[in-house]
Amino acid sequence: MTRLLASSVVRGSRQGESHGGLYRIDFEAGTVVQALDWNTMDIDWQGRGWDRGLRGIAFDGDTVYVAASDELFAYTPDFALLGSWRSPWLKHCHEICVHERTLFLTSTGFDSILGFDLDGRRFIWGLQVTHGPGGDFTGAPFDPASRHGPPARNTLHLNNVHCAPGGMHISGLRTGGILLFNGRLISRWVSLPEGIHNARPFRDGVLFNDTQADTVRWVSRQQEEQALPVPRYEASQLTHTELDDSRIARQGFARGLCVLDDDIVAGGSSPSTISLYDMARGRRLRQVTLTFDVRNAIHGLAPWPY
């Protein structure tokens, strides 16, 4: 449970530079191996993260699925490419998850969730989420294979999807919490602060990256709470600090989260650092820093099963 796969985004990188990659981290052995360097030129290079880097990670048998901004890739455990798939309705993808025989992807640029059939290897389902003036959330299903889909919209900035008994949990920077889709209706399952990533049920409460507060946070139904700050470094240790726009690159940006067991979770932060947290005892156990380049931020995290 101490072996992880992490993806990264290099915010503010330029054409010709690496703008992300995949890393295998073994905390027990103390090793880090870069499995893939992402330097494609066919992306949008405007501002912040945009199309840069690699995003969500999921597994199905012996297949490793990794999302880029607008494309889903499948690899062998040795990272030989098996195939890739696009949809006009997949834009600025963040996290992904597998539930039964469907892989679900957040399409942040459309405030939508897409469903990818793992057996047929095609996009088969879509749901655009809207927030009405009365405060209610609604979901409009659509067929991602159709030429007619929802308009581009990034109002809620959906960045996480997690399936569990009872429904699909959806969250984003501006959802105000976790939304629960039960197959028919969408309701707010729990209220959370704005600016969150990776929110999901955990133990008897909710676990999330409180990105605005640079903190990994767990809150129980009884309002018990653990709030653990992500690692920070002396300014002299950081590189590429000439970018003076904190919206593009700053240290302490908390994103990337995965559960290892009932107590231990792994969380990511910038510059690309992965930490192990004991949420039961409220302490950070270990950490590994891949680079001190402040532009380089962890995006996805998952236990490595192979």
pLDDT, one tens digit per residue, over 224-264 is: 899 999 999 999 999 988 764 545 568 999 999 999 999 99
Residue 295 pLDDT grade (very low, low, confident, very high; cuts 50, 70, 90): confident
Among 2-11, 99-108, 282-291, name the one with the lowest average pLDDT.
2-11
Residue with tokens 């939304």: 179
Contact 132, 138 (CB under 8 A): yes
Query: Which pLDDT does position 155 carry in this prediction?
Result: 96
Phi and psi at residue 34, to the nearest 5°: -80, 115
Query: Which pLDDT does position 198 carry in this prediction?
Result: 98
pLDDT (tens digit per residue) in 269-279: 999 999 999 99
* Residue among 23, 240, 18 at smallest CA distance from 10: 18
Measured between alpha carbons, how far is 237 from 218 in angstroms, rounded to an integer?
Answer: 30
Measured between alpha carbons, how far is 12 from 240 in angstroms, rounded to an integer?
Answer: 10
pLDDT (tens digit per residue) in 114-167: 999 999 999 999 999 999 888 899 999 999 998 889 999 999 999 999 999 889
Query: Which pLDDT does position 11 carry in this prediction?
Result: 67
Domains of the chain: 3-303 (2.120.10.30)
Measured between alpha carbons, how far is 196 from 177 in angstroms, rounded to an integer?
Answer: 8
Burial bucket for residue 104 (CB in 10 Å: 0-12, 13-18, 19+): buried
Sequence-separated (6 or more) residues with CB below 8 Å from residue 135: none
Average pLDDT, the chain: 90
- Averaged over 278-305, what is the pLDDT? 94
pLDDT (tens digit per residue) in 25-79: 999 998 999 999 877 544 443 444 445 679 999 999 999 999 999 999 999 999 9
- Averaged over 286-305, what is the pLDDT? 94
pLDDT (tens digit per residue) in 76-119: 999 999 999 999 999 999 999 999 999 999 999 999 999 999 99
Tell me how far the alpha carbon of residue 86 is from its chain's centroid: 18
Measured between alpha carbons, how far is 31 from 245 in angstroms, rounded to an integer?
Answer: 33
Number of neighbours of residue 113 by Cβ within 10 angstroms: 22
Query: Which pLDDT does position 16 carry in this prediction?
Result: 42
